[in-house]
Amino acid sequence: MKSGLENLKLDHWSKIVTVFAAAVLVISLTVEIKGVPNSEVTLFSLGAALIGIGEIINHPWQEVIVPPSAIYPGWMKGEGYQRNTSFMGVLFILSGVVLIGYRLYCIFKQTYSHYAQHWKKHPE
């Protein structure tokens, strides 16, 4: 019996980011993490997974046959993960960036509001 993981090739950085972020997301949802709130780890890993999914959508595997020209006298076959931007890919990337950016904003706001309250109580 074959599992779905046999066809999973981690041959592009976006696939590695997506798998790693999904693993961290599952861990943050199931195990209590010490030192960092689980909600922050969950949202960061969800944002990274969304960015990875968007990049996978925007970088499909493509094969191209190039006819002979003055530069390349023979036929040439090109293949790889070339960027092919799509609306859904950009939507996933933007939602991931917004999610991570919002969490960073909340963290900095919470951190600096604590320091601002301290400075108001003890002016130099």
pLDDT above 60 for 58: yes
Q: Does the pLDDT at position 2 exceed 80?
A: no
The stretch 98-108 carries a mean pLDDT of 91
Indicate the angle between helix axes 38-58 and 87-121, nearest 10 degrees.
150
The 3-state DSSP class for residue 105 equals: helix
**What is the average pLDDT value for the chain, to the nearest integer?**
84
How would you class 54 by CB atoms within 10 Å of its CB: exposed for 0-12, middle for 13-18, buried for 19 or more? buried
> pLDDT for 22-54, tens place per residue?
999 999 999 998 888 888 899 999 999 999 999
CA distances from 118 to 93, 106, 107 (A): 38, 18, 17
* Contact call for residues 92 and 54 (beta carbons, < 8 A): yes
Q: How far is CA 111 from the centre of its chain?
A: 25
